[in-house]
Amino acid sequence: MQESGSNMEVLYAKRFPEAELRMKQDVWQVLCTRFFSKFVKPTDTVVDIGAGYCEFINNIHAARKIAVDLNPDVRRFAGADVEVINDSCTAMVHLESGSADVVFMSNFLEHLPNKDLVLQTFRESFRVLRTGGRVIILQPNIRFVPGEYWDFFDHHTPLTERSLVEGLQLAGFTPTEVIARFLPYTTKSRLPKAPWTVALYLAMPFVWPLFGKQSLVVARKDA
């Protein structure tokens, strides 16, 4: 949700009514507890780029939690323990080089106008990460949602897990985990929906290839 302006606010208000936002927070609590916590230590500094409604950054357990988003309205959704920085994803001027342990992005890169900005975002993430730090990307995979991908008015840049890997390598990262099919496309999908179904889904990776339309890519900064 890096984009700003009244048009985007209206769009997101229609796309995610309050009841669905509450459901998404519950789902992300399970995702963070049962899956993403394995990539984040309690002592880490975590940066969530394009934090939007702060579902990830509110629910991940870390020593320092930072939400980066151009939209000042993000402060309404951030937890009390989350710092909000209204910087661009390509110029996080309020973050020092080598100051973060984990950079996270979820359903964000498709909103950028072009791949050049995607690469700039990767390079800026590389800058703010410490050596040994990780970038974690959860991203709709256009290979598995070729038509549905364009159902959202604010989707611009098509990506697959392979193009994510190449972009990360160009920025200096070493990919360490690549899951082409991980989660279903959106929370509007039939499965999973309730928190208990999410927990069950995560416990059965053999079903991910059947329902997964979002990719997960994790990469490390080695130097």
Domains and CATH numbers, the chain: 6-220 (3.40.50.150)
User: Can you give the C-alpha Rg of the chain in angstroms?
Assistant: 16
- Confidence at 20, pLDDT banded by 50, 70, 90: low
Secondary structure of residue 37 in the 3-state scheme: helix
Q: Decide if pLDDT at 21 tops 80.
A: no
Question: Rounded CA gap, 40 and 51, in Å?
Answer: 17
pLDDT value at position 1? 46
Amino acid at 206: F
- Residue 187's pLDDT is 52
Averaged over 133-142, what is the pLDDT? 97
pLDDT at residue 222 in the model: 97
For the segment 36-62, the average pLDDT, to the nearest whole number, is 97
pLDDT of residue 18: 60
Across the chain, the runs of DSSP E, i.e. the strands, are: 45-49, 64-68, 82-85, 100-106, 129-140, 174-179, 214-220
- Mean pLDDT value across the chain: 90
The pTM for the full model equals: 0.89
> What Å distances lie between residue 60 and 55, 63, 88, 117, 191, CA to CA?
9, 10, 22, 27, 23
pLDDT of residue 23: 80
Q: Which pLDDT belongs to residue 52?
A: 92
Q: What is the pLDDT of residue 37?
A: 97
**Closest CA relative to residue 100, chosen from 69, 137, 125, 75:** 125
Q: Calculate ∠ Cα 89-99-133, nearest 5°.
A: 85
Of 184 and 152, more confident: 184
Residue burial 135-155, b: 16+ Cβ < 10 Å; e: rest: bbbbbbbbbbbeeebeeeeeb
